[in-house]
Structure 1
Amino acid sequence: MNPIKNALKSLSVTTTNVIVALIFFIITAKISNPAFFGKVAIIQLLEVITSAFFYFIPGQIITREISYLYARKEVNKDVIGKFISLPFLSFPVFLVLLLFPTYVKLAIPYLFLYLLGGVLNSIMIGMDMFTETAIAGNLFLIIRWGISILAVLQHNIYLFVEIWTLGGIISDSLGYFFIIKKIGFVYPLLYLPFLFKHFREGLPLYLSSLAGFFSSQGDRVTTAYLLGSYYLGIYQFSALVAGVPSMVLGALGGVLLPTASFYKALGKDERRMSSISFRLLSLISFLAVIISIPVAIVVVDKFFPAYEGGIEALILLLLATTLPFPIGSLVNFIVASKKDLRPFLVLSILNGGLTLLTSFLLIPRLGIVGGAISQIIVSIISSSFIVFYALRTSTFIPSRKEIMLLLAMPLIGVYEVFVDPPFLDLILLLLVILIFKAFKVIEKEDVKLVESFLSSKLKFISYILRLIN
């Protein structure tokens, strides 16, 4: 289980997503309008609802269990088949969408495939099948954003949903084929005691996901309700652009759970793993924020002038999703160490309620910027809780270096909000690099550990780390 190689494979999917989605949005912005984009946003919102409400056994639990079995060479077809049956158990719940408009009804098969794809990906990641996951993911994204341009040209939301459904069929079939090739023929095996056991174990995460939907999407739902699909389109577009850095980081952080579970099963110390990951991800997150904000502003000004009204919200959303990423990564080590997950339920309920409350209070007064401020508030609360709980469970024990990085996060956020000229970001960029070098935040032992996972073609990464060290 090589975290660096796996991260690069995952990054290929993110790169494809960014490139083809950018082309899609450029064309959509030129030939369509925010109202049509708002309908696309509703389909994407249904994806999030599917992940939050219908994923009865969270993907983290599936990946962790498969990773533990894989490390001990105990993976078998029965376990895989039982997990694959989960989407079929969830399918009847999708029928509630028959009460909604026609194009939402048409999305039912796609949403089922979307859920099935999530389960297949969780299984493949747990078995170190990152190459196969990347192939299926890239193919799906090319169909999702590339071929669906045909639907945009015709302003046909029904054709749009049909193309996405086709992408789901092809991607899921490919993922299923890869699993069969790895372990032999497997079929869905509905065994309720097995599913209920893991549902009960993952219940705090599942309920947290439900509440987390309102904390992450409550601002969009409130925007749609109070301001309509036009402003939802602008806000959703701002959120998508702002989410690009966190998508890239997500490709890097996505390998942490299977890697931590794999090496935890082999007896490695999760505290050292969490410390190294936190420091490396902090460096990448800080640089991503500082570089992404001026780039995002230029991209919107040049290619998407109709969405310039969302730039302020874009900056706030980018800070809310990217800056605290190293803190959020600590959750992977908490899950991998099989710590009590119930406190996350309390946090999610608090965040969900707070998002709805602040959105209803701020959006009527500040517009979509109010929704972005709501996300900033939730981000601060979530990050503070995760740090506290990671300390309490001893999965993360910060030294002075980690404490310094924690204090630097809000300072960088304030700088980006209140320091206006974009060229001043260059000063902040140099300052961050100098601080990492002066205080030796990346230690020699960290570089050696990273080097142990690098192939000859990736040695330049160690050179960069040694330069900073």
Structure 2
Amino acid sequence: MNPLTGGLKFLSTTLFNSIVALVFFLIAGHFATPSFVGKVAIIQLMETIAGSFFSILPYGLVTREVSHYYASSKDYNRIAYTSLSYSLLVSPIFLFLFFFPSYLWLSIPYFILYIFMNYQGQLLSGLGKFTEVNVGSAIFTLSRWGLSIIAIFYHSIELLILIWTLGALLKALYYQRYLPFKFFIDKAIFKEIVKVGFPIYLSGIVSFISSQGDRVVTAFLLGSYYLGIYQLVALAAVVPSMLIYSFSSSLLPSSTYYYVKGKDIAQMSSITFRIVTLVSLPVAILGYAVSPIFISKLFPQYVSGITVMQLLILFLTATMPLQFLSTFMISAKKSYRPFIIISYVSAVEVIGVSYYLIPRIGILGAAIAQVINVILTSALFLIFSVSQGVFRLERKEIACIILIGLSFLALINWIVGLVVVLVGFKLLGIVSSDEIKIVENFAPSILKKVTKILYLVAR
């Protein structure tokens, strides 16, 4: 159960998905009509809705539970069978899509497979089968964004849906090789996961509202033209933070596994927090600096959204270390009620600030709503993780938080911000040589030379 090699696998798959998706949307933007692209976006929105509203057995908790059973050498098949069987039992709910346009009810088989293979992936991650999970994801990416380019030239949303469905089926069959399935529901396990994970389930629903609230308000107040600009730059801006957060896919099962084996959860969260800070702050500042070039060269018609993209990249990526604390809160399996509080505060803030600012300053108001949101939720994750004993605020951790704040100097001058952060890492001794050796021990042999770069900022 290696969190670093697993994280690198998830990182490579996420990067691959982002590149292929970028190619898809570049071609779609040139050859397809806005109506076609809009239908693709609605199908993606339905995926998000399905993942949020239908996952009454929360994905993260399923991963945590199967990893706990695996580390304890207990039989985990009942958890696997129950989770996968539940994903099929909720499929009739998708019949409500028959009241919507035909391309949505044609997507019902795809949505069923989407939920099923999501649970498959979470279970395999919990068992430490990171290679298998990412091979399946790569297979799906090739069909979802690669082969579906054919549908653009035929201007056929039905063909796109067929390709996506076949890709999802192929991924599910591939996962079946490593996680055999039979229809079985263990009522005791089902009730326990639902009861314990209900706060996480509710927070997922509310998080959907907060993550999409700024877009809904933008569409309502400004119309589709400005929504299109905001949507594109926001999707591009989230890529750096999404790549970094991909490591959490292996971190949750790995931290659970070693926690069961007796490792100190606070120590694990501290090392992760400081290493992620070391990576995320330079990426955030450099992303802030180069994003204007990215937009002006590839999407010149969206240059009015450059400031929005810069704000989102800087704040979403720089606060990533604090967002990672949520993973350890799930691993420790203490109270999950903080997730409800954080989600509701987040939703109220995004909707309220968006309604106030968007009529006054346009899509920049939507970006500011998200900036305030990520600062607020990061602070709450810090408070709750400390109060639960999952994270300890000591000298190095406080120094990291100070550096996160100093990274926002990029708003004035990105070069000054980058220099301050890099020098700060060295002078404040954020990571020690012994801690880098731990990282080096987890690193695959091909990357051990790369990890030596970390010694440059170690004390």
TMscore range, shorter length = over 0.9
Q: How many Å apart are 1:141 and its aligned residue? A: 0.9
Structure 1 segment 7-406 matched on structure 2, within 5 A: 7-32=7-32, 34=34, 36-180=36-180, 186-406=181-401
Q: Which amino acid letter does the alignment assign opposite residue 462 of structure 1?
A: T
What is the DSSP-based 3-state SS (H/G/I as helix, E as strand, rest coil) of the residue aligned with 2:414? helix
- Distance, in Å, in 1 between the alignment partners of 2:317 and 2:223 is 27
- Distance, in Å, in 1 between the alignment partners of 2:157 and 2:374 is 33
Q: How many Å apart are 1:20 and its aligned residue? A: 0.8
CA contact (8 A) 2:78 2:186 kept: no
After TM superposition, the structure 1 stretch with the greater mean CA deviation from structure 2, 358-367 or 382-391, is: 358-367
1:12-67 Cα offsets, whole Å, 9 max, x none, are 21121122112112222323455543332222221211111111111111111111
Question: Does 1:416 pair with 2:405?
Answer: no
- Distance, in Å, in 1 between the alignment partners of 2:350 and 2:98 is 28
For residue 183 of structure 1, what is the aligned residue in structure 2?
Answer: none
- Distance, in Å, in 1 between the alignment partners of 2:336 and 2:390 is 13
Q: How many Å apart are 1:455 and its aligned residue? A: 3.1
How many residues matched?
458
What is the DSSP-based 3-state SS (H/G/I as helix, E as strand, rest coil) of the residue aligned with 2:246? helix
1:263-303 Cα offsets, whole Å, 9 max, x none, are 01001100110100000000111011112223332121111
What is the DSSP-based 3-state SS (H/G/I as helix, E as strand, rest coil) of the residue aligned with 1:452? helix
Question: Does 1:436 pair with 2:430?
Answer: no
CA contact (8 A) 1:84 1:119 kept: yes
CA contact (8 A) 1:363 1:371 kept: yes
Change in Cα spacing, 1:152 to 1:366, as seen in structure 2 (3 Å) is farther
Q: Which amino acid letter does the alignment assign opposite residue 441 of structure 1?
A: I
Q: How many Å apart are 1:153 and its aligned residue? A: 2.4
Change in Cα spacing, 1:346 to 1:427, as seen in structure 2 (3 Å) is closer
TM-score by length of 2: 0.95
1:446 to 406, 419, 435: 435
- Distance, in Å, in 2 between the alignment partners of 1:119 and 1:132 is 14
- Distance, in Å, in 2 between the alignment partners of 1:285 and 1:353 is 27
CA contact (8 A) 1:35 1:230 kept: no
Q: How many Å apart are 1:102 and its aligned residue? A: 2.2
After TM superposition, the structure 1 stretch with the greater mean CA deviation from structure 2, 331-340 or 345-354, is: 345-354
CA contact (8 A) 1:38 1:232 kept: no
Q: Which amino acid letter does the alignment assign opposite residue 115 of structure 1?
A: I
- Distance, in Å, in 2 between the alignment partners of 1:410 and 1:101 is 47
Coordinate RMSD, CA, aligned:
1.8
1:353-382 Cα offsets, whole Å, 9 max, x none, are 222222222223322222111111211211
- Distance, in Å, in 2 between the alignment partners of 1:176 and 1:112 is 16
Q: Which amino acid letter does the alignment assign opposite residue 381 of structure 2?
A: I
- Distance, in Å, in 2 between the alignment partners of 1:216 and 1:320 is 15
1:167-211 Cα offsets, whole Å, 9 max, x none, are 21111111122223xxxxx31313344212211110000001111
CA contact (8 A) 1:34 1:230 kept: no
CA contact (8 A) 2:410 2:417 kept: no
CA contact (8 A) 2:284 2:315 kept: no
CA contact (8 A) 1:246 1:325 kept: yes
For residue 464 of structure 1, what is the aligned residue in structure 2?
Answer: 453
Change in Cα spacing, 1:34 to 1:433, as seen in structure 2 (3 Å) is farther
- Distance, in Å, in 1 between the alignment partners of 2:178 and 2:446 is 27
CA contact (8 A) 1:41 1:236 kept: no
Q: Which amino acid letter does the alignment assign opposite residue 362 of structure 1?
A: L
CA contact (8 A) 1:34 1:233 kept: no
1:41-99 Cα offsets, whole Å, 9 max, x none, are 22222121111111111111111111111112223433311111121122122222222
Change in Cα spacing, 1:98 to 1:199, as seen in structure 2 (3 Å) is same
Q: Which amino acid letter does the alignment assign opposite residue 11 of structure 1?
A: L
- Distance, in Å, in 1 between the alignment partners of 2:19 and 2:235 is 13
CA contact (8 A) 2:349 2:373 kept: yes
Q: How many Å apart are 1:244 and its aligned residue? A: 0.9
CA contact (8 A) 1:38 1:229 kept: no
- Distance, in Å, in 2 between the alignment partners of 1:115 and 1:287 is 36
Q: Which amino acid letter does the alignment assign opposite residue 199 of structure 2?
A: P
1:121-163 Cα offsets, whole Å, 9 max, x none, are 1100000000000100011111111112122223333322222
Change in Cα spacing, 1:120 to 1:278, as seen in structure 2 (3 Å) is same
- Distance, in Å, in 1 between the alignment partners of 2:82 and 2:176 is 14
Question: Does 1:455 pair with 2:444?
Answer: yes
Q: How many Å apart are 1:338 and its aligned residue? A: 1.0
Q: How many Å apart are 1:461 and its aligned residue? A: 3.2
Q: Which amino acid letter does the alignment assign opposite residue 128 of structure 1?
A: G
What is the DSSP-based 3-state SS (H/G/I as helix, E as strand, rest coil) of the residue aligned with 1:254? helix
Q: Which amino acid letter does the alignment assign opposite residue 160 of structure 1?
A: L
- Distance, in Å, in 2 between the alignment partners of 1:298 and 1:34 is 24
- Distance, in Å, in 2 between the alignment partners of 1:140 and 1:355 is 32
- Distance, in Å, in 2 between the alignment partners of 1:3 and 1:252 is 8
Q: How many Å apart are 1:405 and its aligned residue? A: 1.7
After TM superposition, the structure 1 stretch with the greater mean CA deviation from structure 2, 49-58 or 402-411, is: 402-411
CA contact (8 A) 2:399 2:430 kept: no
CA contact (8 A) 2:140 2:171 kept: yes
Change in Cα spacing, 1:318 to 1:243, as seen in structure 2 (3 Å) is same
Which ranges of structure 1 fall in alignment gaps of 5 or more residues?
A: 181-185
Which ranges of structure 2 fall in alignment gaps of 5 or more residues?
A: none
- Distance, in Å, in 2 between the alignment partners of 1:466 and 1:457 is 17
CA contact (8 A) 2:287 2:310 kept: no
Change in Cα spacing, 1:4 to 1:375, as seen in structure 2 (3 Å) is same
Q: Which amino acid letter does the alignment assign opposite residue 317 of structure 2?
A: T
- Distance, in Å, in 2 between the alignment partners of 1:33 and 1:308 is 21
* Identity score, percent: 38
Q: How many Å apart are 1:107 and its aligned residue? A: 2.3
- Distance, in Å, in 1 between the alignment partners of 2:259 and 2:112 is 33
